[in-house]
Amino acid sequence: MNGVQNNRRSSLSFELPLSFEQAAAYRKVNGQYVRKNQWRDTTVRVLIDLD
C-alpha cells in the first residue's frame, strides 16, 4: 500500500418496521399480550460492520 492507509469500511444496513400486529403475534406465541394503546409502531435500524 506504499504507506497509504485504506479507510474504506464494509458494512450492511437495513431497516425493519415493527407494527402492532407483529408485536401482538410475537407476544401471543410467548403466552403474553400487548394492548393497542401500549404500542407505537417503530422502525429498527440494523448496521452490521463487516470489518
Output the CA angle 45-35-22, nearest 5 degrees: 40
Q: Residue 51 — pLDDT band, cuts 50, 70, 90?
A: confident
pTM of the model: 0.60
What DSSP designation does 30 have?
T
Alpha-carbon gap, residue 49 to 10, rounded angstroms: 6
The three cell numbers of residue 2 are 506504499
Statement: residue 8 has pLDDT above 90: no
Mean pLDDT of the chain: 87
> Does 2 or 23 have the greater pLDDT score?
23
Alpha-carbon gap, residue 8 to 47, rounded angstroms: 16
Q: Residue 4 — pLDDT band, cuts 50, 70, 90?
A: low
Beta carbons of 39 and 23 less than 8 angstroms apart: yes
User: What's the confidence (pLDDT) of residue 9?
Assistant: 73
